Structure 1
Amino acid sequence: MGFAEKRGSYWRARYKTAPGKHLTVVDEHGKAIKFATKGEAQRSAGEAENKYRRGDWRDPALGQETFGEYASRWYGAQDLAASTMQNYKRHIEEHLLPDFEDHALAGILRSDVDRWEKKERALYAASSVKTWRSTFHLIFEDAIDEGLITSNPATRRRGRGKRAGRSRGRGPEKVVTDPLGILLIAERAALLSGRDDEFVAVILKAYTGMRWGEIVGLETEFARPGAVRVEWQLYELDTGEMVRCPPKDDSYRTIDAPPWLSALVANHIARAKLTPCACHGRTYVFCGHGAARTGGHHGAKLVDVARRADVSTGTVSNVLNHPDRVTQATRTKVEAAIADLGFIRGGAVVGHTAHWRRNGFATWLFTPAVSGCYPKKAPQEARPVPLVGEPWPGIPVRGRNASARADACWVPIARGLTPHGLRHSHRTHMEDIGTEKVLMDERMGHIDGSVSARYAHVTAGMRKRLLVGLTEQWEEALDARLEMSPRSPVRVLGGLLRARAAVH
């Protein structure tokens, strides 16, 4: 407990911070406070020690460096994967600096962090805020290691806060779909893109459980007879660059593929006449859809401004659309980059994309295929995909007055399903077949560190039963689709339906 110490004509307040270590209560200038009575000194010492134990204590003699200065220095010292560096940069620039950039490192209290989190939770998903606070915590931990501060104000104290309703912060349950839903979604995605590539990609993702980056980064040499080898992935940075990097958590693996799936991919590769991309010089199974176009101006892009200002594209977007979310110093830097480059909103670069973009694929191909509606995009609200009803299941109408020329629209298949939801669907389908956990983990690229998992091994019989089960699901989906209509405007699916009809 804190105590009072007699010093000539006054008392000073002393409190314990570690075994054998005591500090003196000081003012904002770092000078010891002289108390007239012993009681005043004891009360002040007790309050200071309680603050120290709660993590709300600050030492005016330390941590005078601002959080913005330290965060910049901290980020520059990191040497991590490009995706991790991008995420840290986004967290710091867009969510930490606006509130704490000019605060002294040692002057940030736990109560400040709690108020910040409460404000962020009112605007963003709880899972996102939790991630940003974790970055905050990591930065402070390194500051402690450097001796700049003695406690971490971003640490969560156990057993505090609401006892009920904690699960409200969890994300929504992941939407999955059945094999027929997968087939219909793949067909719609191909109709929206006007080519077979999207059909093959959706089916491959749904029947292998591959991650999005692994699908985009699948090179032709790793699409082998009877298997798909996951050796690389392509990760999209905020700058638009596609980085070729190892799969998540180094989950290198060979995924067994049924004969019909291997044939589907092999025929796609032969038909597409693929060529190496300019960015990596490698030939990928799938390439991007359409042209990169956002307007008629040929000039600097948003990513060029981000690079010049050394910020993320999200920060540039906030400067243009929500300047109140960005600090004055960052706004000035971005505005200078805009002026230097002559950036004009709505600018574009014409040319075909070498790879799918996650947001573009999900927004304009996958989500409309799943929900039957194009998403909301200012100034337009969400709207049904306009269709010409024949041939079934309908052909999307494009161009001027498309809605007036349409005579049908799609009904939802699995509203809320995302591309990653196909990975959840695959795991669910394997459970339905009765696949052994050790094989499911191998296929999904998961690691089970339990003792029981060390004694379980994949056998040829397990693999055979899984491939038979996946084939039965596929054939049942084809039969159900055949009953709806014996033909399809999607060329590759039309061929599969004709072949299936011949079997019957």
Structure 2
Amino acid sequence: MANNQGKRRRFGSVRKLNSGRWQARYRDPSTGQLRSAEETYVTKTDAEVALTHIEADITRGQWNDPDAGKVVFGEYATAWLKDRKLAARSRERHESVIRLHLLPTFGGRSLSSITTTQVRAWRTACLERTGEPTVVKAYQIMRAILNTAVDDELIRRNPCRIKGADRYDVPERPVLSVAEVYAVADAIAPRYRLLVLLAAFTGLRFGELASLRRRDVDTENAALMVRRAQAEMQTGALFDKAPKSEAGVRPVAFPTELLPDVKQHLDGFAGTGRDGHVFLGPQGGRLRRSNFRDDWINARTTAKVTAAVHFHDLRHTGNTLAASGASLRELMTRMGHSTPRAALIYQHVVGGRDREIADQLGSMIRKERGDVDS
């Protein structure tokens, strides 16, 4: 009897099942209830070794409830998205990516059953049918979901461990010459001429331009005040959203050479009142990408500009042209990118370096349009 007591394990126990395999049992550290290990073992020694590992995990505080990982990915992803603090458009995009790209493969699987091999196979299959930017976004969201599952102690390790899967090399976008910018502006419908010119010579995004109001245009100082950006839901609903960071709210000087175009546009095409939109659609409603796209394509074709050029490339063009005379910080300020910087007061910007950058762009315009400085 003494010998049997000496051989008794101080942690857990093992027993032989009717099948001939061995089972390890131990007390759940959270509930104190007796529970069995997740799998059975060929030999008694294997079962005892498994108990040793379980005991070590509990001692180090690394033990996870095996049942926790049985939570279904689809249910967890839905709850995860609900708990996120996201802007409406970002939430819509996240929901779409989860529904279209993650749930078909992982929706019915338990969290603990998802392996790195399965994630790699899923990614490879996605790349064969979907563009890389979408696959990268889907991978980033899945990794974020499973990171939260690790934090919730539902799984011990995130299976999204594929090097380089969370990023992609953005292809170099084309840059238009000043002549090409004006060729497109001259070819497009008159109500969109200023839209093209400001996109190219201020670097504003389509959403920022579409949300401009009359009160945001300072014709005395040749400057725009960017306060918001228009966003469009998949349902077609439009709304103005705050910039992603404080740097997004900013004054941006434009070349004084554009003042005649600005004044002509405000007189002929802008909405009424201080809060009237600067740019409107063809029927006088809100400007949308969908009611502008055909005009852009036709003008681009008429101007004989390569079809590879998108409207957003005008922003890239403007930032590239401005970069030749601006420091990194000045360029980031003009572009609306976040950077550690002192708050910029409107009057300081229109009278300072941003004004000089706009004037330099104006010099390029005069040179191209044949009005060369004497």
CA pair 216-459 structure 1, distance change in 2 beyond 3 A: closer
**Mapping of 1:5-404 within 5 angstroms?**
7=13, 10=16, 25-27=37-39, 33-38=40-45, 60-154=66-160, 156=161, 169-190=168-189, 196-225=190-219, 226-250=222-246, 251-272=248-269, 274-275=271-272, 282-289=275-282, 352=283, 354-362=285-293, 364-370=294-300, 372=301
1:115-153: CA deviation from partner (whole Å, max 9, x where unpaired) = 111111111222221111111111122223333323222
Q: Which runs of 5+ in 1 are unaligned?
A: 15-22, 28-32, 50-56, 191-195, 290-351, 373-409, 451-456, 480-499
1:445 equivalent in structure 2: 336
3-state secondary structure, aligned to 2:129? coil
Aligned mate of 2:357, from 466, 477, 485:
466
Q: Indicate the percent of aligned positions where both proteins have the same amino acid.
A: 25
Q: Give the counterpart letter for 2:178 in structure 1.
A: P
Distance in 1 between residues matched to 2:173 and 2:124, nearest whole Å? 26
1:461-500 to structure 2, matched below 5 A, reads 462-479=353-370
**Is residue 2:304 matched to residue 1:412?**
yes
| SS of equivalent to 1:138 | helix
Equivalent residue for 1:386? none
Amino acid at match of 2:261: L
Structure 2 unaligned blocks of 5 or more:
1-10, 17-21, 26-34, 57-62, 342-347
C-alpha distance in 2 between matches for 1:185 and 1:44? 73
Amino acid at match of 2:365: W
Moved more, 57-66 or 130-139: 57-66
- C-alpha separation in 2, matches of 1:461 and 1:246: 26
Offset of 1:244 from its aligned partner?
Answer: 1.0
In 1, distance between residues paired with 2:236 and 2:350?
Answer: 42
Q: For each residue in 1:315-352, what CA deviation from the matched residue of structure 2 results, as whole angstroms up to 9, or x when unmatched?
A: xxxxxxxxxxxxxxxxxxxxxxxxxxxxxxxxxxxxx4
When the two chains are superposed, the root-mean-square deviation of aligned CA atoms in Å is 3.9
Cα distance in 2 between the residues matched to 1:458 and 1:437: 16
For residues 111 and 203 of structure 1, the distance between their equivalents in structure 2, rounded to whole angstroms, comes to 50
1:213 is paired with a residue of what secondary structure? helix
Tell me the number of residue pairs that the alignment of Structure 1 and Structure 2 aligns.
340
- 1:266 CA displacement: 2.4
CA distance in 1, matches of 2:48, 2:146: 31
Relative distance call for 1:134 and 1:198 in structure 2 (3 A) is same
- 1:108 Cα deviation after fit: 1.9
In our comparison, the structure showing a higher alpha carbon Rg is 2
Contact 1:218 1:284 in 2 (8 A): yes
Q: Whole-Å Cα distance in 2 between the matches of residues 216 and 6 of structure 1?
A: 68
Runs of 4+ aligned residues of structure 1 deviating over 6 Å after TM superposition are 43-46
Read off the aligned partner of 2:181 and give its amino acid letter. I
TM-score (norm 2): 0.78
Q: State how far apart, in whole Å, the 2-side matches of 1:35 and 1:45 are.
A: 16
Instruction: State the TM-score, normalized to the length of structure 1.
Output: 0.59
Classify 1:472/1:459 alpha carbon distance in 2 versus 1 (closer, same or farther; 3 Å).
closer
| Alignment-mate amino acid for residue 26 of structure 1 | E
